[in-house]
Amino acid sequence: MTDPRPLRSFIPPYILNRIIAHGSERQRSSAMVTLTHVRTLRHTSGSPVPSAAAAILPTPVQPGQVQRSIHDAQGKLLLPGMPARLEGQPATGDPAVDEAYDAMGASHDFFWKVLGRDSIDNQGFALIGSVHYGQDYENAFWNGGQMVFGDGDGEIFERFTRSLDVIGHELTHGVIESEAGLVYANQSGALNESISDVFGVLIKQRVLGQTAAEADWLIGADLLTPRIKGVGLRSMAHPGKAYDDPLLGKDPQPDHMRKFVITQEDNGGVHINSGIPNRAFYLLAQALGGFAWDKAGRIWYDTLCDKRLDSEASFEQFAQLTVAHARNRFGTDEARAVKHGWAEVGVKSSQEGS
């Protein structure tokens, strides 16, 4: 039986396949190694399981106390690698180590101080990260127990720790797994990707102190090298317009249900169709104004934590719950804004009698 919870990786397989088809010999080799490796990885279903590396960290003495350990995989495909920086230790001077440490701290801080969530499992889960994974490895992923970051090839992708939102995105996959277990396929899988984008970008916006109007709403804006024609891997504001490059092709994300992509690839298009709920969230955040995490982010988080959220939820089912939570927490005006955001991307968000 196919594992219903395949590994969540940041770079979609369609991008890696495009590089394999059109890249230079080195680019093709890096993409092939990455894609082949990602396809062999699976993690077990259920709640997140702490990495063995967590044993080197002390037990938190109080709720909300972050515990981080960053490891150096030293170019190997072995986890977790050698300890490089533990909680409370000073910067190492290795950009990847220090970026991962800081970004994991910012992500933990967001969930604790904004949403009252104590790490990934809401019980102080130790945050483990491994950097310098593989040779020219073109991806980042959450494997059910820790986060892993490649260095990229330096030609198409920079090191993956450069993007705070990428690290926030991967950590959020753990939160989703712990809280709702959204199956990583079809519409529930696209929701899984979209919610990870939502909180990844909100973490970045909070660190930068940006309002919804000031933010760029880009995912992976720091990943592409200058030789690639694009502004990031995804645009929540304008799905389908993040990049248009001879090597990578054109961003395939739809921004409306009329453009929904039906495919067997990418677990039923989880990285492609996530553009639809991404834009719905962006539109809501713009309508509400101010800091997007204050209201829009809280509505999405309340929905994620709702036990009525089915693990195979459709866009419509998720949207209906967001309207209910907007009304319950904030009021009629916010619920109306949520409905409008979903309507603009062609998703129904109201049930009869609601």
List the structure tokens of 83: 């300890």
DSSP string computed for 59-118: PPSSTT---EEEEE-TTSS-SS-EEEEETTPPP-S-HHHHHHHHHHHHHHHHHHHHH---
- Write the DSSP string, 177-226: HHHT---SSHHHHHHHHHHHHHHHHHHHHHHHT--TTT---EESTTTB-T
As a whole number of angstroms, the distance between CA 323 and CA 302 comes to 11
Catalytic residues: 170, 271
For residue 295, the Cα-to-chain-centroid distance in whole angstroms is: 20
CB 145 within 8 A of CB 128: yes
Q: Alpha carbon of 227 to those of 8, 127, 149, 230: distances in Å?
A: 27, 34, 22, 9
Give the distance between the most distant pair of CA atoms in the chain.
Answer: 59
Amino acid in the structure at residue 187:
Q
Contact (CB, 8 A) for 219 and 150:
no
Find how far residue 233's CA is from the centre of its chain: 12
Which residues face 243 on adjacent strands? 230
Tell me which H or E stretch contains 266: helix 266-269
Q: What are phi and psi of 210, to 5 degrees?
A: -100, 140
Let me know how long the chain is: 354
Handedness of CA 157, 162, 165, 166 (dihedral sign): positive
Residue 60 near residue 124 (C-beta atoms within 8 A): yes
